[in-house]
């Protein structure tokens, strides 16, 4: 990526990545025109219903010693699902609202939001509280692995 992308462009790239991965699984989706905590509405033909998705995007992992992907999700949690996109490696994870709450490593109250991060170095130490922290620990939540289970 040669040009410096704006925050809005990075976010839109994440939405398009999620839409592409959904479409490759036969799931149509459409972006919302206004931002109310829902970025995409996807129609699941196998269940004959629609779901709402908020997408959070990282351009690449950051951090010199412990490179990690990091996403903040503001409260209230409006969507049914949350997609976390990694543009550098063309990956996206899909979590239900309750999974985001369970896996978030931080939940500060000022402002109220959830923080999910994933270390990309498999040799980096885990957390003392044993919460998931490495990207490989979230493999079953990769969008292509999660869709068949929705």
Asked if the structure places residue 1 within a domain, the reply is: no
- The confidence band for 132, taking pLDDT boundaries of 50, 70 and 90, is confident
Give residue-wise pLDDT tens across range 32-52: 988 789 999 999 988 899 999
Contact 120, 62 (CB under 8 A): no
Asked if the structure places residue 2 within a domain, the reply is: no
Give residue-wise pLDDT tens across range 82-113: 999 999 999 999 999 999 999 999 999 999 99
Asked if the structure places residue 95 within a domain, the reply is: yes
Domain span holding position 120: 7-149
CA dihedral 38, 101, 28, 140 (to 10 degrees): 160
Q: Does the pLDDT of residue 5 top 60, yes or no?
A: yes
- The confidence band for 2, taking pLDDT boundaries of 50, 70 and 90, is low
For residue 54, give the CATH number of its domain.
Answer: 3.40.1350.10
Average pLDDT, stretch 121-148? 90
Q: Among 145, 58, 136, 132, which Cα is nearest to 100's?
A: 132
What pLDDT sits at residue 59? 96
Asked if the structure places residue 31 within a domain, the reply is: yes
What's this model's pTM, rounded to 2 decimal places? Answer: 0.94
Number of domains in the chain: 1
Strands 28-31 and 68-74, sheet pairing: unpaired
């Amino acid at each position: 990526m040669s040009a410096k992308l704006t925050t809005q462009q990075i976010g839109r790239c994440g939405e398009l990545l999620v839409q592409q991965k959904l479409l490759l699984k036969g799931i149509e989706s459409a972006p919302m025109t206004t931002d109310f905590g829902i970025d995409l509405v996807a129609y699941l033909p196998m269940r004959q219903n629609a779901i709402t998705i908020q997408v959070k995007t990282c351009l690449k992992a950051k951090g010199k010693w412990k490179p990690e992907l990091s996403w903040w999700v503001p409260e209230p949690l409006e969507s049914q699902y949350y997609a976390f996109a990694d543009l550098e490696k063309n990956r996206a994870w899909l979590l239900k609202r309750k999974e985001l709450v369970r896996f978030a490593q931080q939940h500060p109250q000022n402002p109220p939001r959830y923080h999910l991060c994933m270390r990309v170095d498999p040799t980096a130490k885990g957390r003392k509280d044993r919460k998931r922290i490495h990207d490989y620990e979230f493999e079953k939540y990769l969008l292509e692995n999660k869709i068949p289970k929705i």
